[in-house]
Amino acid sequence: MTTFQRLLALSLLAALPGAARADDPCATTAAYQRSSASFELKEELLDAIAVCINVEDPRDRAECLNEARADYLDGLELVQEQYDARLDLCGLLGGGTYDPEIEPRDFTTAIDNPWLPLPVGAVWNYESLTEEGLEEIEVTVLPETRTILGVECVTVRDTVTLEGELVEDTLDWYAQDEDGNVWYFGEIVFNYEEGYVADIDGSWLAGVDGAKPGIVMLAAPAVGATYRQEWLAGEAEDAATVLDDGAAVTLGLGTFTGCLQTADFTPVEPDALEHKFYASGIGFLYETKPGTSEVLELVGYSGL
């Protein structure tokens, strides 16, 4: 047996979820997700090998096989990082199942949470200077609503342009519970390339394929609190932790004090981390990505 074959055999054995974490549904879920992703990688590897063995030139065939093996091993590394990140999140959440009880009569479309107010007609404009150029984002609260899991939700449109060209057009759906928490019930994302819709990657809807809503803004954010913002295994697993409730932010629009700061992250992309800042009465204000110079800041808002 070659070294690579041994690695493959060991990885498949390691991918099987064990019973050691069966007492914690959160950790057990993470184990099954690791297994699913590992077997998907195996399928991709076998398909790639099938292609490679039909390459006639021996050198080209060897190069093809080496690339397939490298991709597989890189994939296994990411799967393990995702698993570790999910376990870390389980620890922050205290473990257990994630099955929020949704009672439609407890929700309203009148979203007046001071950290994330969403009145119909309100518009926020953001800008970010990225490596690809100037990114501009416009967020608008539309008059239309959509019923999801029996809950009437506010529709928010989010458009992203890069150097003036539309790259993303998203509809998000939110509702506020009777305690003042703002819940996220899903989104449909239209990703554009050269003026045409390329895919809808990133889309999810509560109640479809096991997806569940999450809280995007707590009614009373307490420093240290961690919460799920959405949940669809392997697709939508965003979460956030409250870092500060008295931060100061200076933008072109002025200086804002008493701001809420959160760390937003997802086990799907273990290296992705965003620090977001919110101003009471305005909402999302500013975003940084630790380890980079990239920032996103509010440059204008109206309708509040």
Q: What is the pLDDT of residues 261-293, one digit of tens each?
A: 999 999 999 999 999 999 999 999 999 999 898
User: What interhelical angle do 58-93 and 3-15 show, nearest 10?
Assistant: 30
* Secondary element (H or E) of residue 77: helix 58-93
Angle at 262 between CA 125 and CA 237, to 5 degrees: 90
> Which whole-number Å values give the CA distances from 131 to 135, 220, 295, in the listed order?
10, 36, 11
HSE at residue 200, side-chain half, CA atoms within 13 A, is: 9
Give percent of the chain with pLDDT exceeding 70: 92
SS3 (DSSP) at 277 = strand
Q: Which residues pair with 260 in a beta bridge?
A: 278
Amino acid 9: pLDDT: 53
Amino acid 23: pLDDT: 78
Amino acid 2: pLDDT: 62
Q: Which amino acid is at 145?
A: T
pTM (predicted TM-score): 0.89
Q: Tokens 């080209």 map to which residue?
A: 60
Amino acid 19: pLDDT: 41
Q: Domains of the chain: which residue ranges?
A: 3-93, 106-302
Instruction: Give the residues of the chain that fall short of pLDDT 50.
Output: 13, 19-20
HSE at residue 201, side-chain half, CA atoms within 13 A, is: 7
Amino acid 235: pLDDT: 93
Fold annotation for 106-302: YmcC-like fold (2.40.360)
